[in-house]
Amino acid sequence: MKITLLGTGTPAPSLRRQSSGYLFDLGGDVIVMDHGPGAHNRLLEAGYKATDVTHLFLTHYHYDHIMDYPRLVLTRWDHGADSVPPLRVFGPSPLRELTDRLIGEHGAFAWDIAARVKSPASLAVYQARGGGTERPRPAPDLREVSTGDAVEGCGWTVTVGPARHVQPHLACQAYRLATDGTSVVYSGDNGGVYEPFIEFASGCDVLIHMNHFLSGTELTADYRRMTGSHLDVAETARRAGARMLVLTHLLPQLDQPGVKERMVAEMAAIYDGPIVVGEDLMTVPLAPAERRPAD
**Predicted structure pTM score:** 0.94
Give the tens place of pLDDT for each residue, 109-157: 999 999 999 999 999 999 998 888 889 999 999 999 999 999 999 999 9
Q: What is the mean pLDDT of residues 92-105?
A: 97
Q: What is the pLDDT of residue 116?
A: 95
Residue 96 CB burial class (10 angstroms; 0-12, 13-18, ≥19): middle
- Closest-CA residue to 156 (of 127, 182, 194): 182
Q: What is the mean pLDDT of residues 241-250?
A: 97
Q: What is the pLDDT of residue 288?
A: 67
How far is residue 285's CA from residue 282's CA, in Å, rounded to a whole number? 9
Q: What is the pLDDT of residue 295?
A: 61
Per-domain residue ranges of the chain:
2-284
CA 100 to chain centre: 21
Angle between helices 259-268 and 230-240 (to 10 degrees): 30
CATH no. of 2-284: 3.60.15.10
| Residue 290 pLDDT greater than 80, yes or no | no
